[in-house]
Amino acid sequence: MTAPHPALLALASRRSPAPIDDEAELVRSVGEHRMTAPVLAAHQEGRIELSSTAATTLGMWDLAERRAHLLFWQTVREVEHRLAPTGAAVAVLKGIATEARWYDGLGQRVCTDVDLLLDSASLTEVAAVVDALDPGRGGSSTIEWLVGRRLVQHVDLHVGATQVDLHFDALKIGIPTRQQHEVWASTRVVETAQGPIRVLRPEIELVLLLLHLNKDRFAYLGPFLDIAHIVDRASLDHGYLRRFVAREGLDVPVWKSLAAVADTLALEVDVPRLTGPRAWSWDRLWGPHARLGGHEARERAPSVQRFLAAHARGRAADALREARRQVAPRRELLEVAGRLDPGRSYLRYLAVDRRRFVASARPR
């Protein structure tokens, strides 16, 4: 386990950090826990003292992050350009959209790709959308067939040199989002320093980010700041938030995740208290023993994230279908994901994959 440096926890919790006497460990932890911008800002404001070497290192990392984000913004504009003839629209999820809305400037939140949500009306025209965005990818007709049956929730594309995760389901946790129409209907166009983009309603963005923390096993401190910033800066409609979560049956993963962030960062937020088998199971899989474990915890994440769907209330049938998909995914799904080449033995792939599944589920 590689927990964040105490100074990082202090800054994330809005406390004054103690003087740094192990700068090399601090810098290592900054990189692992995605905290470059907050630490650099604290140094510039005099709340933390770094050597010129450490400050230069963080400054270089910060510059690289800013340049990457500018490329991501260019990618969003290119996507809009390529989709214009098709009439399809997209909303920007997480990443640069979260940064632009709830942070103070470019590069303050680590982003690794561009996440987009395709509008509901275009789900019947997925083949045209995929061909427009990534003409060389192929398999667009298969993707459209899978999307039409809600068997696939996203596809990885490349727009130029940038990886784009195109969502057909906003929450993307295996079980289908019940309120898919509401998710898109409640999107809005907001002005940012980089121009206008379509984004999720803040309450739904909060749910998405909380669920994503489960996928990462709460491994890194940086993403905790997403939740803190939204809670602090967004005018959340808590009644709408609770209704949305209840209708999806996601009470346990959402409220447990919010409580975990609130406890870690000492946030003042009202979180429903949950009991019962699903709450108990969530605590066993995502509890404090694994939290903020850095790269090691993230590597272990696949052994637990596959159980996220099983923690939804009243979604037993959906959870069973998701479990079946994980145990024996359709050949078409594997080919679309690039995990099975055409002509390769499907049964042999399943046999090898089952061995990996068992190995990943063992305690490490």
Residue 219 CA to residue 213 CA, distance in Å, equals 8
Structure tokens at 8: 């990082």
Specify whether 75 is located in the same domain as 166. Answer: yes
Q: Does some domain include residue 276?
A: yes
217 sits in the region (left: phi over 0; alpha: psi -120 to 50; else beta) called left
Count up the domains in the chain and report the number: 3
Residue 55 domain-assigned (yes or no): no
Which domain-ending residue is among 171, 200, 229? 200
Per DSSP, what are the bridge partners of residue 188?
199
Among residues 142, 324, 83, the alpha carbon closest in space to that of 92 is found at 83
Confidence of residue 326 (pLDDT cuts 50, 70, 90): confident
Residue 343, judged by CB atoms within 10 A of its CB (0-12, 13-18, 19+), counts as exposed
Domain presence at residue 238: yes
What domain range is 39 assigned to? 1-50
Domain boundary among 200, 221, 249: 200
* 72 and 195 part of one domain: yes
Q: Other CB atoms closer than 10 Å to residue 146's CB: what's the count?
A: 20
**Same domain, yes or no, for 111 and 153?**
yes
CATH code for the domain in which residue 150 is found: 3.30.460
Cα dist. 109→100, 133, 193, 223, 352 in Å?
Answer: 9, 26, 15, 8, 37
Task: Tell which residue, 270, 250, 222, has the closest CA to residue 103.
Answer: 222
> Which residues have a Cβ under 8 Å from the Cβ of 170 and sit 6 or more positions away?
93, 117, 177, 180, 183, 184, 200, 204, 208
* pLDDT at residue number 359: 55
pLDDT at 87: 97
Answer yes or no: do 213 and 307 share one domain: yes
Q: Is residue 225 part of a domain?
A: yes
Residue 56 lies in a domain: no
% of the chain beyond a pLDDT of 90: 82
Q: Which two tokens stand for residue 80?
A: 């809009």
Q: Are residues 228 and 272 located together in one domain of the fold?
A: yes
Give me the half-sphere count of Cα atoms (radius 13 Å) on the Cβ side of residue 31: 13
- Cβ burial of 129 (10 Å; 0-12, 13-18, 19+) is buried
- The predicted-structure confidence for 257-276, as pLDDT tens digits, reads as follows 999 999 999 999 999 999 99
In sequence order, which residues have a C-beta less than 8 Å from that of residue 114 and are 6 or more positions away?
Answer: 72, 75, 76, 79, 92, 95, 96, 159, 162, 163, 164, 165
Residues 75, 191: one domain? Answer: yes
| Same domain membership, residue 97 and residue 39 | no
Model pLDDT, residue 333: 85
Contact predicate 94/115, CB 8 Å: yes
Which stretch, 16-20, 182-186, 324-328, 336-340, has highest mean pLDDT? 182-186
Q: How far apart are CA 253 and CA 53, in angstroms?
A: 41
Has residue 62 been placed in a domain? Answer: no
Task: State percent of the chain over pLDDT 70.
Answer: 96
Residue 134: pLDDT band (50, 70, 90) is: very high
Whether 165 contacts 154, CB under 8 Å:
yes
62-99 pLDDT, tens digit per residue, is 999 999 999 999 999 999 999 999 999 999 999 999 99
**Pairing assessment for the beta strands 114-118 and 162-167 based on DSSP bridges:** parallel
Cα–Cα distance for residue pair 355/208, rounded to 1 Å: 31
Greater model confidence, 63 or 360: 63
